[in-house]
Structure 1
Amino acid sequence: MPLKETIETEYKNALKAKDKTKISTYRLILSSIKDLDITNRSGPNKKETDDEDIKKLLKKMVKQRAESIDIYKKNNRTDLLEIEQNEYNIIIEFLPKQLGDEETKKICEELISKLGVNSVKDMGKVMGELKKLHSDEIDFAKAGPLIKELLNS
């Protein structure tokens, strides 16, 4: 089932269950998808919105929530923190599971040895290959510094 349909189904279930947190979060997601549809239909590169576009959108939303969570923690705003955390948890359910730090490090090490690179100058090659092979399952905000560290050692 396409991702958009899955989200719409979950939205309908939340409406039936009268779960206010989920309802507002799903509305937010569906609204963003609708904006994305409009953007994709207008402009020079007309195309249908596919699951990859929606995943990118959801990743962006997750990143925004994570940044807000950090800010709210620093400023001791538990009321807002709870709201953002709930939205974060709901949105992340629609994304593929991210690999942990150990698995990410192992994949990066294997890729570096496979490509035969040993300098930070080659970091772009490693990142490019990593994005080709593992774009959905690796957090690149963590992978970048890790690759830099591996190439420096």
Structure 2
Amino acid sequence: MELRARVNAAIKQAMKDKAQVRLTTLRLINAAIKDRDIAARGEGREDGVDDSEVLAILGKMTKQRQESARAYEEGGRLDLSEREEAEIEIIAEFLPRKLSDAEVAEAVDEAVQEVGAESIRDMGRVMGVLKTKYTGQMDFGAVGPMVKDRLCAG
């Protein structure tokens, strides 16, 4: 089932279960998807966003909540931090399984071979391949230095 349909089904279930925090978070996800749909239609894509873009939206939402939770924790607002963590768990239900370190290293090697990367100048192409294939499955902030090391080591 595509992600959008899974989110809508989860919203209906949360309404039936009267799970308020879950329902609120799911509605935020749905609103973010619809906002991106509207922007995509403005760009001439009548069918809106696809699953890879939905994964990117979910990844961004997770990252925002992690930063907020950290800030709330530092500010001594544990109640708000716990709420952000609960939202992260709900969003994570729709994200694919994270790759292990070994799987990430293997994916980097495959991407380097696929584009025929030979120097650091090819880093953008390698990252593009990784983002296309592994959106939501790896932390690209951590993968970037790995790709750089791999290309510099040659």
Query: When the two structures are superposed, what TM-score results if normalisation uses the length of structure 1?
Result: 0.81
Aligned residue in 1 for 2:88: 88
Distance 1:133 1:38 in 2: 25
Per the alignment, residue 98 of structure 1 pairs with: 98
Give the whole-Å Cα distance in 1 for the aligned partners of 2:24 and 2:125: 41
The Cα shift of 1:115 comes to: 5.6
Once the two structures are TM-superposed, the CA of residue 52 in structure 1 deviates from its matched residue by: 2.8
Q: Name structure 1 gaps, 5 residues minimum.
A: none
Query: 1: distance between equivalents of 2:149 and 2:11?
Result: 43
How well do the aligned residues superpose, as a CA RMSD in angstroms?
Answer: 2.4
What is the rounded CA distance, in whole Å, between the counterparts of 2:131 and 2:70 in structure 1?
A: 26
Distance in 1 of aligned mates of 2:32 and 2:125:
33
Secondary structure class of the residue paired with 2:137? coil
Q: Which amino acid aligns with 1:47?
A: E
Amino acid in the other structure paired with 1:130: L
Determine the C-alpha separation between the residues in 2 that align with 1:52 and 1:115: 21
**Deviations, residues 111-145 of structure 1 (Å, cap 9, x unaligned):** 44666645433322322332344334222111101
Specify the alignment match of 2:68 in structure 1.
68
Whichever residue aligns with residue 18 of structure 2, its letter is K
Q: Is the 8 A contact 2:99 2:138 kept in 1?
A: yes
Q: Secondary structure at the match of 2:94?
A: coil
* Percentage of identical aligned residues: 39
Residue 57 of structure 2 aligns to which amino acid in structure 1?
L
What letter corresponds to residue 88 of structure 1 in structure 2?
I
* Alignment match, 2:10: 10
Is the 2:59–2:136 contact (alpha carbons within 8 Å) kept by the matching residues of 1? Answer: no
Partner residue, 1:37 = 37
Structure 2: gaps spanning 5 or more residues: none
| Map 1:114-133 → 2, pairs under 5 A | 117=117, 119-133=119-133
Question: Number of aligned pairs?
Answer: 152
Q: Which residue of 2 aligns with 1:143?
A: 143
